[in-house]
A = this chain, B = another copy of it.
Amino acid sequence: MRFSRSLVPTLREAPREAEIVSHRLMLRAGLIRQQAAGIYSWLPLGLRVLRRIEQIVREEQNRAGATEILMPTIQSADLWRESGRYDAYGKEMLRIRDRHERDMLFGPTNEEMVTDIFRTYVKSYRDLPLNLYHIQWKFRDEVRPRFGVMRGREFLMKDAYSFDLDEAGARTAYNRMFVAYLRTFARLGVKAIPMRADTGPIGGDLSHEFIILADTGESAVFCHRDYLGFDIPPADFDFQDTAALQATVDRWTSLYAATEEMHEEAAYAAVPEADRLSARGIEVGHIFYFGTKYSAPMGATVTGPDGKEHQVHMGSYGIGPSRLVAAVIEAWHDDAGIKWPDAVAPFDATILNLRVGDAATNEACERLYRELGAAGREVLYDDRDERPGGKFATADLLGIPWQIIVGPKSLAEGNVELKRRQTGERETIPLEAVAARIAAGTTATA
């Protein structure tokens, strides 16, 4: 994409309303624009990051055996009356009357609707296990939206729902999502630690939050330091292997880890002092097992191998891709701007033309732009007529992993400068070596 033909409205100053670094950087880098309290437009660069995160989340859901559907944003209140949550949910639910005076709502979550879909179509234990997910915009009418997309009102969520014949099957389904989440966050370039969590308005008796450690985190967390070095399950992990699933979950829950609300001083005190990690954390995923909480009132049953009707055991599993954009920035930034991990960056590389209008630099930049594009790289070409200092600052602010700096002096010797944004390392290499160098140095994602 050519910078001059896109919409990348960077700001020199941090807007005053932004309280946390990710919000400041998302506004300064021109990723989002606020349209109303807690409601944002995604500008071209922000949307690219959002889509890349969404796609990684999708791939890992599919790998774990979940099936993608798409439920609508607007729901009928009737379904929520069946579960009893229409009255229970409170003011966070955006309630709507349509032109025929029917009660509708903008879905804050989809347990009721997916249970309705399930009970319509699935009748036998032979069709289980089943896990249906969708990636859709949700709305929660927070009383005080803040921190940008970290705590917005309209937000993108991947929510998955598992259906099993019995509790043992549901625990395996839970374990599948637990492992899928470990892989998802690792691919996004962040370290997320699963912590025992409260179940809140979703209900149930088993729940984990996945927490990224960051100084600006919303809540205090307490865990064993060793979690930071744990291995992530590999891409060829067998999600049909019940024992391997359980062993992975057992290992990742073997040491102390709790959010503030579940924190137990005595248990934490038993952790050797040098291993205790007390920090701030950002919740980026939340999984629940809640048995028959929805299947019982809504009549979601299947015929079992015994010929009898069984209420299905369910769980739900959420990740917020829009919130993750901010969380990744909280984990990856410095004073100059964002330092995107390769997997979620809006572009793989950016070309800085230091003398726009000069025939040689123009030609070198166009050639790089063509070649990298042909090699499947997404490239932002800074073709604006601006001074080098401004271009360097913008490139550091935007945080694209590779900066390819094309100036007349190096180019006279056939060279360009390559800068790796995350490490700050610089090297001078021949123009024709750029594509191969980037291919070799970029972290593979899968």
For residue A42, which residues in chain B have a CB less than 8 angstroms away from its CB?
69-71
Q: Enumerate chain B residues within 8 angstroms of A106, measured Cβ to Cβ.
A: 73-74, 96, 106
- A91 at the B interface (CB under 8 A): yes
In the complex with contacts A9-B121, A137-B73, A68-B44 CB distance below 8 A: yes
Show 11 residue pairs from A and B whose CB-CB distance is below 8 angstroms, ordered by the A residue. A1-B67, A7-B121, A36-B74, A40-B72, A41-B117, A44-B67, A47-B70, A73-B139, A94-B96, A96-B96, A137-B137
Contact A41 B121 (CB under 8 A): no
Q: Are the CB atoms of B43 and A69 closer together than 8 Å?
A: yes
Smallest beta-carbon distance A261→chain B, Å: 24
Q: Mark A7-51, 1 if CB is under 8 A from B, else 0.
A: 101000000000000000000001001011001111110010010
The one of B1, B75, B94 in contact with A98, judged by C-beta atoms closer than 8 angstroms, is: B94
Interface membership of A271, Cβ < 8 A: no
Contact B154 A73 (CB under 8 A): yes
In A203-217, which residues have CB < 8 Å from any B CB? none
The proximity string for A residues 127-149 relative to B, scoring 1 for CB distances below 8 Å and 0 otherwise, is 10010100001010101000000
- Contact between A69 and B40 (Cβ–Cβ < 8 Å)? no
**For the complex, is A254 an interface residue (Cβ under 8 Å from B)?**
no
* Contact call B67/A139, Cβ cutoff below 8 A: no
Tell me if A279 counts as interface (CB < 8 A to partner B).
no
Tallying the copies of this chain within the complex gives: 2
Is B113 within 8 A of A35, CB to CB? yes
A99 in the interface (beta carbon within 8 A): yes
State the CA gap A22–B149 with chains docked (Å): 39
Specify the chain B residue showing the minimal Cβ separation from A110: B41
Chain A residues with CB under 8 Å of chain B are: 1, 4-7, 9, 30, 33, 35-36, 39-44, 47, 50, 65, 67-76, 91-92, 94, 96, 98-99, 102, 104, 106, 113, 116-117, 120-122, 127, 130, 132, 137, 139, 141, 143, 153-154
Complex Cα–Cα for A73 and B139 (A):
10
User: Within the assembled complex, what's the spacing in Å between the Cα atoms of A122 and B4?
Assistant: 12
Q: A7-B132, A35-B113 are in contact. Are A99 and B69 (CB under 8 A)?
A: no
Across-interface contacts of A132 in B (CB, < 8 A): 7
Find chain B residues with CB under 8 A from A75 CB. 35-36, 39
Contacts of A71 in B (CB 8 A): 35, 41-42
Report the bound CA distance from A137 to B75 in whole Å: 14
Given A33-B117, A98-B94, CB of A5 within 8 Å of CB of B65: yes
* Bound-state Cα–Cα, A67 to B130, Å: 38
Assess the B44–A6 pair: CB atoms within 8 A: no
Q: A35-B76, A39-B74, A113-B35 are in contact. Are A67 and B99 (CB under 8 A)?
A: no
Is the beta-carbon distance between B70 and A113 smaller than 8 angstroms?
Answer: no
Residue in contact with A33 in the complex, picked from B30, B33, B120, B130, CB distance below 8 Å: B120
